[in-house]
Amino acid sequence: MKIWQKSITVNELVENFTVGRDREFDLQMAAFDVLGSLAHTQMLESIGLMSADDLQLIQKELKNIYRDIESGKFTIAQEVEDVHSQVELLLTQRIGDAGKKIHSGRSRNDQVLVDLKLFFRHELQQVVEETDKLFRLLIELSNKHKDVLLPGYTHLQVAMPSSFGLWFGAYAESLTDDLEMVLAAYKITNKNPLGSAAGYGSSFPLNRTLTTQLLGFESLNYNVVYAQMGRGKTERVIAQALSSIAATLAKMAMDQALYLSQNFAFVSYPDTLTTGSSIMPHKKNPDVWEIMRGKCNRLQALPNDVAMMTVNLPSGYHRELQLLKELLFPAFADLKDCLHMATFMLQNITVNKDILNDPKYAYLFSVEAVNSQVLSGVPFRDAYKQVGLAIEKGEFKPDMRVNHTHEGSIGNLGNEQITVAMDKLLKSFDFAKVSQATTKLLTY
């Protein structure tokens, strides 16, 4: 069944090529398609385009379909083009002609737009929640290991003292900035396109403010042409946000792969969390971190992939926009998996508390020695030269005490301030409003 089809049957080869993987990805949007229809039909009744009896019948059966989706019983038949067609077909089969009325005042263009916005909003919430779990763990580990020193590197050369407190805390703060990007994406996503129809509005007296409230959107995409133009733009902004978190995770994964190697031996994990070699019995490979690094590096290409799909499209709807699902839907799954696995692995990390006992790290403290002289009144350039000459002659004797007290340094991590910033940011998402709207729709 195709809700647009009249008397001509499309060539099977053309149909298979154009439908592509839509059914597969539409299954993930099915619950949101029903939510959109619940709101839309309430609005239709409020403006006199649907009777109260029809509305009651439609709402009841849409909720039955929603329950089927939630329990895994909903499928999209091979002969049905997409989720919108499948829901309308089921509704019509079950309640008769009343089911044919739900499409008044909308097009598949704005129907898929609202489905996508609801899906993206839900997925972004899950990303935020997984990111927050990892953030809390990183802050906990930072505080727990704040006094354990490790080498800091520049150019992959031993540089200055760092600490596990700094290392864990750095990634926590990075995730805070990443969620600023996610918040921007969430705000752009959380606007209602329903009522834009095919991209040029409708001659029906639609109440778009009502559907905005019913679906828990923060506001409207007011201009109907822009509502359609927003498809592709929304995905591009979301892609930027996901790639930002991915960049943080990729760097963390790279650090972990290095730190676990025998040459570093900064951290260790239980044998059950690493893998071995088919011929080298001593191996403990960081496969989880390597797979994470690969997936997150791939995710950093996502914004470019989305841009290349949409960069030269004029305004209005174009069929290749459906291909954006193939980019975004798996990206959400991959990023959530990586966040979850990063949290799981770090819950089982053991840090080496004796790293700096190795004499090769003695020069880490050269800057400390220079600063000590400066604090006693020696000009910086003179102190730098004196310590440098001592190193050249092999006479440098490090004082391994670290006296860093300024904000964000070894002795003053700033974790409280970072946590306050994260807590403030999380409140800006206002997930409770969406949850309340969804609950109200399903119990109307």
Q: 436-439 long-range contacts, Cβ below 8 Å, gap at least 24?
A: 436/216, 437/213, 437/214, 437/215, 437/216, 438/35, 438/216
Handedness of CA 358, 359, 361, 362 (dihedral sign): positive
The residue with tokens 């964000």 is 408
The whole-number pLDDT of residue 5 equals 56
Contacts of 29 (CB under 8 A, 6+ apart): 83, 112, 115, 116, 118, 119
Work out the pLDDT band at 345, boundaries 50, 70, 90: very high
Domains (range + CATH), the chain: 12-101 (1.10.275.10), 108-148+162-204+220-357+414-443 (1.20.200.10), 358-408 (no CATH)
Measured CA to CA, the distance from residue 361 to residue 158 in angstroms comes to 7
Whether the pLDDT of residue 1 is over 60: the answer is no
pLDDT averaged over the chain? Answer: 93
Q: How does pLDDT run across 201-218, given as a tens digit for each residue?
A: 999 999 999 999 999 999
What DSSP designation does 204 have?
Answer: S
pLDDT tens-digit map of 54-91: 999 999 999 999 999 999 999 998 888 889 999 999 99
Q: Give the Å distances, CA to CA, from 298 to 70, 107, 242, 331.
A: 31, 35, 11, 9
Tokens representing 137 are 């763990």
Helices (H), 145-223: 164-189, 208-214
pTM of the predicted model as reported, rounded to 2 decimal places: 0.92
Q: How far apart are CA 177 and CA 336, in angstroms?
A: 18
Q: Are 239 and 279 in contact (CB under 8 A)?
A: no
Q: Please state the φ and ψ torsions of residue 282, each to the nearest 5 degrees.
A: -90, -5
Mean pLDDT calculated for residue range 184-202: 96
Q: Give the pLDDT confidence of 259-302 residue by residue, as tens digits.
A: 999 999 999 999 999 887 667 777 788 899 999 999 999 999 99
Backbone phi, psi, residue 340, to 5°: -60, -45
The residue among 119 and 3 whose pLDDT is bigger is 119
- Residue 318's pLDDT band (cuts 50, 70, 90): confident
What is the token pair recorded at 173?
């703060």
Give the closest residue to 335 by CA, choosing from 398, 228, 244: 244
Q: Quick one: pLDDT band at residue 111, thresholds 50, 70, 90? A: very high
Grade residue 414 by pLDDT with cuts at 50, 70 and 90: very high
Residue 342 is classified by DSSP as H
End-to-end Cα separation, the chain, in angstroms:
30
Q: For residue 410, which amino acid is it?
A: I
Q: Rounded to whole angstroms, what are the CA distances from 30 to 72, 187, 277, 428?
A: 11, 23, 44, 28
Report pLDDT for 81: 81
Mean pLDDT, residues 99-106 taken together: 93
Highest mean pLDDT among 280-284, 342-346, 384-388: 342-346
Q: List C-alpha distances in Å: 228 to 200, 224, 436.
A: 9, 7, 27
- Do residues 172 and 146 make contact, with C-beta atoms less than 8 angstroms apart? no
**What residue ranges in 207-343 does DSSP mark as E strands?**
219-220, 267-268
Query: What is the tens place of the pLDDT at every residue in 353-371?
Result: 999 999 889 889 898 889 8
Which amino acid is it at 306?
V
State residue 417 phi and psi, 5-degree precision: -65, -40
Q: State the pLDDT confidence band at 2, using cuts at 50, 70 and 90.
A: low
Handedness of CA 369, 373, 379, 383 (dihedral sign): negative
pLDDT band at residue 126 using 50, 70 and 90 as cut-offs: very high
Could you tell me which of 235, 220, 208 has the C-alpha nearest to residue 106?
208
Euclidean distance between CA atoms 169 and 400, whole angstroms: 22
State the pLDDT confidence band at 9, using cuts at 50, 70 and 90.
confident
pLDDT at 155 over 60: yes
Q: Identity (one letter) of the amino acid at 147?
A: D
